[in-house]
Structure 1
Amino acid sequence: MKLKWIIVLSLSIALIGVLTACSESGDTSEAQTNPEGHAEFIAAAEPGGGSDTILRLMSEIMMEEDIVDDFINVDNRPGGNGGVAMSHLYNQRGSGDHLILANSTFLTAPLQSDYAFNYEDFSPIALLGEQSYVIVVPADSEIETFNEYVEAAEEEDLIFGSYGVGTSDHMVAMLLDDAIGQEATYLPYQSAGEAFTGLLGGHIDASAQQIGSAMEYIESGDVTPIAVTSEERSEALPDVPTAKELGYEELTWSLYRVVYGPPDMSEEDQEYWSNAFEELSQNERWIEEYQEPQMLEPDFLAGDELEEYMHDFNEVFEENLREADIIE
């Protein structure tokens, strides 16, 4: 499968962050202290960017809710499609106080650039959950349903726009083309917000957006949701069908939220942080302030289960990127 491209000035910066912490394993039912008592959450975004915002909320909750005793500082290291943050983490080999909150570019950045590492070199800590996508069209579009989108794609050259090249958002566009047997022109934007601007301005015909990010536009009536990419219908959009139930099972996709440590992180440190993030995932503030409003589907995994999950995810992702000639 090959997509037709309209290339914008730069590739998107991925939603990646880096968390840093020194640790001893233990029961996180009580506050824990790393050996040095200090941690850094390093974000691959400018202050106020996506990963920066998530990491600042994480650090606040983990400190104020006594999940850890460490002081946590957020250090911003944007650039290189997330590669700057990843390189920094890679150089902390054996450290127990550096972590990264990864998304799809944790897999793709090394494949698209000449880095000396890939995701398997890092130490898996925890999967916090997944965020599914919704395919939306402008409210004034003649397309009102997914089937109408398929019909329109058969008759004309549609323009599908989302965040970035080789991102999880982009993957939805590729899977959509494969599922319906039609090839849309893909327009990558530098952020999800810019993609919404393009959609509302009539520059693109449809877009794939995380459900949590799309809700304000759906609720305001600016866009119409035509399908979700989750296994089951979203509680936030109960009247919107899944692509799977419409007969397009291959169009099932989510963005994961996974925490990784540097290469050669000790088992003791991995256990410490796995326990801490498991407690975070069950914390009421985290659920109320991030999980619920951002439609994060909780699915905590660690250890061998997480490694298997990432292996399977990477296989699908890499295969589609190669078919689209994004990587060699």
Structure 2
Amino acid sequence: MSLLKTLVAAPVLATILISPVSLAKDLDYPTKRLNYTIAFGPGGGNDLMSRTVVDILKKYDYYDNTIRVDNIAGGSGAVGFNFVAQKKGNPYHLTSTSGNFLGTPLVSNTGWTYEDFTPIGLLAQDAMFIVVRADSQFETAQDFVEYAKSNRVTVGGTGAAGPERVVASLFAEAGGFSYDYVPSQDGGGMVTSLTSKSVDAIVANPSEVSGQIKAGNFRPLAYSEAQRSTVYTEVPTFKEQGYDFAFSLPRGVVMPGGVDENVQQWWVDTMKKVVQTQEWKDYLNTNSLSGNTVWGEDFAKNLAATNADFKRVLTQIGAIK
């Protein structure tokens, strides 16, 4: 081989030798038990998602070793997430994210934030509808905005400082109007506030209002994810109606910080297989979750953007200083 050909071939050969696939094989991963921590008690949304993921990993032999699942609840997720954060560099620990993964560190001194974890993937997006009664004069988000600019409007949601309040505030900011927020104790009370005409609209998780929508009692005006829901494909997003924001709770998977990037890629590839199964698709439909996925460092950017919106709105309403 000529000197020129040797020089040209060398970087190509080097690239092949250090490819992620090659290095992942060199790591001989996995060889140990996986520890999957659920930062909340049994029966909740995070628990259901986590156990669905683990069941799929086991059923299809996507993880070639045993998997231990532990519920470590406390402090709105703070205790369990802290347990995983303390395992820095350990490639045998996973946990599932939720709204509290971002919200809890904003309002409490947890000692960790989302930045202390290695992002694997956003497997499902838990976004919100803004919903009005079927007999409302508002047919679109623009109808609502035009009315709200010259009239007092009330928007309901669950809790005083949750994701419903964040979406309502981002909508008002993007649309240039003011509103009064009416919190309810739970989803049932929020639905009642709209049916009783105590509020003009509510911001709600699709699962909380899907029955009323199907019955023809409620009309969704917009969806808060950047893309349309994979379940409610007929509902337009705020973005496509001209309101430049998106907000959804991150139902994803992360590992402790400092994990080797080839292990990170191994899990990205594995979770991509998980979300293609019928079991995962059934989980999304049953729980009214959108299946739009985001992976690796793009997931990190998604967490950063969502966290910034959450922090800004909570600061505006006085929930954090």
Do both proteins adopt the same fold according to a TM-score greater than 0.5, normalized to the shorter chain?
yes
**Residue identity in the other structure for 2:320:** I
Report the equivalent of 1:287: 281
Equivalent in 50, 59, 66 of residue 61 of structure 2: 66
Tell me whether 1:168 sits opposite 2:166 in the alignment.
Answer: no
**Match runs of 1:221-300 below 5 Å:** 221-231=216-226, 233-234=228-229, 236-237=231-232, 240-248=235-243, 250-290=244-284, 294-300=288-294
**Residue identity in the other structure for 2:277:** N
Whole-Å separation in 2 of the counterparts to 1:190 and 1:259: 29
Equivalent in 35, 46, 51 of residue 39 of structure 1: 35
> TM-score, with normalisation over the residues of structure 2?
0.76
Whole-Å separation in 2 of the counterparts to 1:47 and 1:222: 33
Tell whether the 8 Å contact from 1:41 to 1:72 is kept in structure 2 after alignment: no
Q: Secondary structure at the match of 1:120?
A: helix
Tell me whether 1:311 sits opposite 2:296 in the alignment.
Answer: no
- State the shift of 1:277 in Å: 1.4
**Residue identity in the other structure for 1:125:** I
Report the equivalent of 1:107: 102
Tell whether the 8 Å contact from 1:39 to 1:70 is kept in structure 2 after alignment: no
Unaligned runs of 5+ in 1: 1-23
Report the equivalent of 2:129: 134
The structure-2 alpha-carbon separation of the partners of 1:76 and 1:232, relative to structure 1 and needing over 3 Å to count, comes to closer
Whole-Å separation in 2 of the counterparts to 1:99 and 1:148: 45
Whole-Å separation in 2 of the counterparts to 1:170 and 1:53: 25
Q: Secondary structure at the match of 1:307?
A: helix
Which runs of 4 or more aligned residues in structure 1 lie more than 6 Å from their structure 2 counterparts after TM superposition?
none
Unaligned runs of 5+ in 2: 1-22
Moved more, 119-128 or 77-86: 77-86
The structure-2 alpha-carbon separation of the partners of 1:246 and 1:267, relative to structure 1 and needing over 3 Å to count, comes to closer
**Residue identity in the other structure for 1:287:** K
CA RMSD of aligned residues (A): 3.3
Give deviations 1:139-179, integer Å, cap 9, x for gaps. Answer: 45555543443355345543322244544333211112212
- State the shift of 1:286 in Å: 1.2
The structure-2 alpha-carbon separation of the partners of 1:241 and 1:262, relative to structure 1 and needing over 3 Å to count, comes to closer
Report the equivalent of 2:119: 124
Tell whether the 8 Å contact from 1:43 to 1:55 is kept in structure 2 after alignment: no
Report the equivalent of 1:9: none
Tell whether the 8 Å contact from 2:229 to 2:292 is kept in structure 1 after alignment: no
Whole-Å separation in 2 of the counterparts to 1:190 and 1:267: 43
Q: Secondary structure at the match of 1:252?
A: coil
Whole-Å separation in 2 of the counterparts to 1:122 and 1:43: 14
Whole-Å separation in 2 of the counterparts to 1:117 and 1:284: 35
Whole-Å separation in 1 of the counterparts to 2:183 and 2:73: 19
Identity %: 30
Tell whether the 8 Å contact from 1:105 to 1:167 is kept in structure 2 after alignment: no
Q: Secondary structure at the match of 1:294?
A: coil
Whole-Å separation in 1 of the counterparts to 2:154 and 2:290: 28
**Residue identity in the other structure for 2:211:** E
- State the shift of 1:234 in Å: 4.8
Q: How many residues were matched structurally? A: 298
The structure-2 alpha-carbon separation of the partners of 1:189 and 1:267, relative to structure 1 and needing over 3 Å to count, comes to farther
- State the shift of 1:52 in Å: 1.4
Whole-Å separation in 1 of the counterparts to 2:227 and 2:308: 23
- State the shift of 1:136 in Å: 0.7
